[in-house]
Amino acid sequence: VLAAPKNLKYDSETFTWEKVDNASAYLVKIGNEEFRATTNKYAYAAGSEDFLVSVSAVGDPAKKTYDSV
């Protein structure tokens, strides 16, 4: 099982977080939407609304690495 991404930050335009070893991608959840990122950053222009964000690492079962929780 992969580690969860750490140090999630947002600068009003882009979310960034620390890379996770062996992650093939990241699943970014913003509110009720899900996005896939292939690097440790995701561009998002928020309005004035509040939102919840989470990021999980996506593994590669062929390499015996599995998603973070």
Per-residue model confidence as pLDDT tens for the chain (69 residues): 889 999 999 998 999 999 999 899 999 999 999 999 999 999 998 888 888 999 999 987 766 555 565
pTM of the entire predicted model: 0.85
DSSP 3-state of 39: coil
